[in-house]
Amino acid sequence: MYKGGKIIASLIIFVAFLSIPFFYNMGKANAGPDVNLSTPAIEALAPADQQCIEPVEFMRANHMQLLNDWRTEVVRNGKTEYINSQGKAFNMSLQDTCLSCHSTDAEKVANTGISNPAANNGMSNPTANASPEFCASCHTYTAVKPNCWSCHFEPKGALK
């Protein structure tokens, strides 16, 4: 091979140069967001009722799959009731089930009304995903842009 030594040396330098970011960041993972699960709605519940529809570990790992399954069951199969692993029934609704506990009063006030989806990158209520506690903190950390708000919104007058 003509000038083989130079080619191999150049490849080694090239691979070493490309691997610098990986070695530089090795072992330096950023801590995830610290989500505060003590909203006024959750604190108002009796201690026995202060549990999510599934255990916390399951929800942290699988909430998106659960929401996708709910969407399929509700939209395609017409099923609206979810039976959790403990046998308790819940309404399959992001707004009525999840956000009834996982939002603060200030977020509910900010989320009233329907805005123009075309003006908000396809989200009918972008302020709801700006929640610093439940949605945006984790979704920003993981660089995920959920499309929940293209269909879901909290209509005016829904505040209690």
Q: What is residue 158's predicted lDDT score, i.e. its pLDDT?
A: 45
- What tens digit of pLDDT does each residue of 79-105 get? 999 999 989 999 998 888 888 887 765
Q: What is the pTM of this model?
A: 0.59
43/84: higher pLDDT: 84
For residue 109, pLDDT over 70 is answered with no
| Cβ contact 59:118 at 8 Å | no
What pLDDT score was predicted for residue 106? 52
- Answer yes or no: is pLDDT of 73 > 90: yes
Cα–Cα distances in angstroms (integers) from residue 40 to residues 55, 101, 108, in the given order: 20, 8, 12
Distances 112 to 8, 14, 57, 125 between C-alpha atoms, Å: 63, 54, 31, 9
Asked if residue 135 lies in contact with residue 111, where contact means CB atoms within 8 angstroms, the answer is no
Enclosing H/E stretch for 50:
none
